């Protein structure tokens, strides 16, 4: 009996020891993450200010990063430096059916396609009932996100995945955007943050009616339900990411752009850049070696296996002539917004502004970079993450609830309260933000020719 107790106690002690190790490591991890997240940062938030702020942030963190280099391998092997919940798939063993290619052949996302624009144009002509635009200057958009098919290691994680998709359902319903939520791993070699590439290619080729595919990480939430993407601005571009030209093209800074939320036009160009983006992705030796190259070539990148974001910075920086003119690095609004510099300002935003700006005044997206609520964590940081994810969710949800005359008791509260009484003339009630029947959702289509 007594020994059983002592045994139990020893186990507890060992556990505690482990936890302490984790905490130390966490600090390293979060620094890296904050740095990566800092893209789009800014105490005041105007693009130029963001930029200066970011420089400052980078300098102050250089030493930290250098220190981190001693821990490199840990960072890599622990696979801690991942930015998307879907990376849980990284740890899964490969099924026998899953390796389909000759390991010696160079990796490709699929058979080469060179005439996609013509194929797609022909299809659109033949299928007038599936137009690629749902209104003038309103392309048909498919928002793509996803997470692991397994329950989260951290049980509460699934609840936040649920809130995150509910949040996306709301934005997309209001803006007439379709959603594809992915649980599947289409290419075992491209597990983790690379899984989106084969998925995106597959969806582009399967849905010629989709003009823009919007990738969004599962840890990003819409916080401005009223902001409509300025589609017109991108009419001559194929790829829109949050980022800065100087940081990507001049500095080759690994956080010069963020791949957690981007727009990709369905086009031959998209297939081509996916092909050029993919080669660093295959798991194992290729991805590890590529990671070393990226850390060597990119500014401030700690050592870890190749990630899709660094690979894109590297691709654009080294082949600007080939891709640059069709890539739009957006920083006039938060297509991606780093949570660390936004979540504490929500009350300030509520006092001074209103939804619809999408920028530092009311961010379109709050991205919980590095907050892996689905992964195994513990202690303070994840709690801060979860508390702030609740705030971000409620901040966005209030804009949905106001349509129906409700609001959260506070940004910290799950409960809602009435903000106006029921009316016997419901259609007379105008919702402040005009989100019930927004002009940008109105459908205007030519009569089908069939």
The structure tokens 């640059």 sit at 324
Taking each continuous run of H as one helix and of E as one strand, the counts in the chain are 12, 12
Contact flag: residue 104 with its own copies (CB under 8 A): no
Contact flag: residue 107 with its own copies (CB under 8 A): no
Nearer to its own copies, 173 or 320 (CB): 173
Residues in contact with its own copies, shown as a per-residue x/- string from 40 to 79 under the rule CB under 8 A: ----------------------------------------
Out of 123, 322, 325, 347, point to the residue binding its own copies (CB under 8 A): 123
Out of 63, 235, 285, 444, point to the residue binding its own copies (CB under 8 A): 444
Contact flag: residue 296 with its own copies (CB under 8 A): no
Query: 217 and 261 in contact (C-beta within 8 Å)?
Result: yes
Instruction: Tell me the CA distances in angstroms from 181 to 50, 166, 200, 218, one per residue in order.
Output: 32, 11, 12, 9
Angle (deg, nearest 10), helices 47-77 and 2-37:
140
Neighbours of 80 (CB within 10 A): 22
The structure tokens 């106001």 sit at 402
Contact flag: residue 97 with its own copies (CB under 8 A): yes
Nearer to its own copies, 152 or 335 (CB): 152
Residue 116: CB minimum distance to its own copies, A: 8
Site stretch for its own copies (CB under 8 A), options 150-158, 286-294, 341-349, 362-370 = 150-158
Contact flag: residue 152 with its own copies (CB under 8 A): yes
Contact flag: residue 88 with its own copies (CB under 8 A): no
Out of 11, 14, 23, 184, point to the residue binding its own copies (CB under 8 A): 184
Neighbours of 93 (CB within 10 A): 6
Element (H, E) at 257: strand 257-265
Instruction: Tell me the CA distances in angstroms from 343 to 60, 84, 361, one per residue in order.
Output: 22, 19, 12
Residue 347: CB minimum distance to its own copies, A: 19
Out of 166, 320, 345, 354, point to the residue binding its own copies (CB under 8 A): 166
Nearer to its own copies, 229 or 435 (CB): 435
Residue 329: CB minimum distance to its own copies, A: 30
Contact flag: residue 178 with its own copies (CB under 8 A): yes
Query: 40 and 258 in contact (C-beta within 8 Å)?
Result: yes
DSSP output for 74-123:
HHHHTT----SGGGGGGGSPPPGGG--S-TTSPP-SSS--S-HHHHHHHH
For its own copies, the binding residues in 7-46 under the rule CB under 8 A are 8
For its own copies, the binding residues in 191-250 under the rule CB under 8 A are 202-203, 205-209
The rounded distance, in Å, linking the Cα atoms of 58 and 45 is: 16
Out of 59, 100, 232, 296, point to the residue binding its own copies (CB under 8 A): 100
Contact flag: residue 137 with its own copies (CB under 8 A): no
Contact flag: residue 436 with its own copies (CB under 8 A): yes
Query: 219 and 164 in contact (C-beta within 8 Å)?
Result: yes
Site stretch for its own copies (CB under 8 A), options 282-290, 299-307, 359-367, 413-421 = 413-421
Output the CA torsion 407→339→83→165 (10° steps). Answer: 10
Site stretch for its own copies (CB under 8 A), options 33-41, 158-166, 260-268, 318-326 = 158-166
Out of 49, 119, 245, 276, point to the residue binding its own copies (CB under 8 A): 119
Q: Which residues does 63 contact at the CB level (< 8 Å), separation at least 6?
A: none
Contact flag: residue 185 with its own copies (CB under 8 A): yes
Residue 21: CB minimum distance to its own copies, A: 25
Contact flag: residue 411 with its own copies (CB under 8 A): no
184-188-192 Cα angle (round to 5): 75
Task: Give the pair of three-digit tokens for residue 1.
Answer: 């009996």
Nearer to its own copies, 85 or 364 (CB): 85
């Amino acid at each position: 009996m007594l020994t059983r107790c002592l045994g139990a106690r020893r186990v507890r002690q060992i556990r505690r020891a482990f936890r302490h190790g984790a905490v130390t490591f966490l600090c390293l991890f979060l620094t890296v993450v904050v740095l990566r997240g800092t893209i789009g940062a800014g105490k005041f938030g105007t693009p130029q200010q963001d930029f200066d702020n970011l420089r400052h942030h980078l300098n102050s963190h250089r030493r930290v990063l250098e220190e981190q280099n001693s821990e490199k391998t840990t960072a890599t092997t622990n696979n801690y430096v991942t930015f998307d919940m879907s990376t849980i798939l990284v740890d899964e063993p490969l099924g026998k059916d899953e390796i389909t290619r000759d390991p010696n052949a160079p990796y490709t996302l699929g058979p080469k396609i060179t005439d996609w624009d013509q194929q797609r144009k022909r299809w659109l002509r033949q299928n007038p009932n599936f137009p690629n635009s749902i209104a003038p200057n309103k392309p048909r958009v498919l928002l793509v996100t996803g997470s692991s098919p397994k329950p989260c290691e951290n049980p509460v994680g699934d609840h936040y995945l649920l809130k995150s998709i509910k949040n996306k359902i709301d934005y997309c319903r209001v803006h007439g955007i379709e959603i594809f939520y992915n649980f599947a791993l289409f290419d075992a070699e491209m597990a983790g943050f690379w899984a989106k590439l084969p998925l995106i290619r597959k969806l582009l080729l399967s849905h010629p009616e989709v003009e823009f595919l919007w990738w969004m990480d599962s840890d990003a939430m819409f916080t401005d339900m009223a902001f409509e993407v300025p589609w017109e601005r991108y009419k001559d571009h194929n790829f829109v990411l949050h980022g800065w030209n100087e940081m990507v093209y001049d500095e080759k800074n690994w956080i010069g752009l963020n791949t957690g939320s981007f727009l990709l036009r369905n086009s031959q160009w998209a297939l081509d850049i996916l092909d050029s983006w993919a080669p660093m992705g295959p798991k194992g030796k290729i991805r590890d070696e590529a990671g070393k190259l990226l850390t060597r070539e990119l500014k401030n990148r700690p050592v870890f296996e190749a990630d899709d974001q660094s690979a894109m910075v590297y691709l654009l920086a080294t082949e600007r002539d080939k891709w640059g003119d069709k890539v739009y690095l957006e920083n006039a609004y938060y297509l991606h917004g780093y949570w660390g510099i936004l979540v504490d300002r929500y009350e300030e935003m509520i006092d001074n502004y209103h939804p619809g700006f999408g920028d530092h005044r009311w961010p379109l997206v709050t991205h919980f970079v590095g907050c892996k609520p689905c992964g195994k964590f513990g202690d303070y940081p994840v709690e801060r993450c979860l508390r702030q994810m609740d705030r971000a969710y409620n901040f966005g949800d209030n804009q949905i609830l106001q349509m129906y005359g409700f609001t959260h008791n506070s940004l910290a509260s799950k409960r809602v309260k009435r903000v106006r009484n029921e009316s016997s003339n419901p259609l007379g009630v105008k919702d402040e933000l005009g989100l019930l029947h927004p002009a940008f959702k109105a459908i205007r289509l030519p009569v089908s020719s069939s």
